[in-house]
Amino acid sequence: MTEPAPSGLQITIVDHPLTRAWLAVLRDESTPNPAFRNALARIATMLVYEAFSDAPEEPVAVTTPVGTAPCTRLVSPPLFVPVLRAGLGMLDAALAAVPDAGIGFVGVARDEATAVPVEYLASLPQDLRGRSVCVLDPMLATGGSLVHTLDLILARGATDVTAVSVVGAPEGVAALRTWGKPLKLVIGAVDECLNESKFIVPGLGDAGDRQFGPR
């Protein structure tokens, strides 16, 4: 389901039996860390496939064992930018789908007292003009970390930007609408709300802690 918005935000909710099944594994509080990482990679694969459903292609001729086949390839491999640390669990799946992609990193920690994002790493090419960028961030809660990352990317000249998240809250989606820049958001589900601690309800907990353990 794709929902365009006048703000320039285009939302695609990947509501599919397989994404719903893997999301159930992620939501279950009894899922151990290794199984959580596996489920995150599986659902990330499906979300990334959807994110590139309209990627520009160019024709190529491929020689097969018995002839020549007309095929296509991506015009320009993207730059994947996982938001650390939780986004790391989506990176291998994204690279499996697009092996020629580049990689950048943005590290953002949430101040637990204020819920304000605090940047501790930004490793990105200085010039992103003309390059497709795909941000990987499992949780879209307040939207603060994602908007911070998007600002860094746009400041380097990027205009073709996609964000891929597993679960979001209406408040996070609203923050992206308020941000107002052109953006494609591909997401597995938009949940009910944020609680007083700014966690998504029902959500799946802290995606970083559930992959790697508490800090």
Q: What is the pLDDT of residues 68-126, one digit of tens each?
A: 999 999 998 999 999 999 999 999 999 999 999 999 999 988 776 666 778 889 999 99
Pairing relationship of beta strands 183-190 and 160-168 according to DSSP bridges: parallel
User: Is 128 a residue whose pLDDT tops 80?
Assistant: yes
Query: CATH fold of 2-212, please?
Result: Rossmann fold (3.40.50)
The confidence score (pLDDT) of residue 112 equals 67
Say what the alpha-carbon torsion angle 179, 182, 188, 190 is, to the nearest 10 degrees: 30
Report domain extents, the chain. Answer: 2-212
pLDDT per position as a tens digit, 136-181:
999 999 999 999 999 999 999 999 999 999 999 999 999 999 999 9
Question: Pick the catalytic residue: 37, 42, 110, 156?
Answer: 110
162 is catalytic: no
131 is catalytic: no
Question: Pick the catalytic residue: 2, 114, 151, 178?
Answer: 114
CA nearest neighbour of 173 among 50, 7, 1: 7
- pTM over 0.85? The answer is yes
Cis before residue 182, ω within 30 degrees of 0? Answer: no
| Euclidean distance between CA atoms 85 and 69, whole angstroms | 42
The confidence score (pLDDT) of residue 214 equals 85
20: phi > 0 → left, psi -120 to 50 → alpha, else beta; which? Answer: alpha
206 is catalytic: yes
127 is catalytic: no
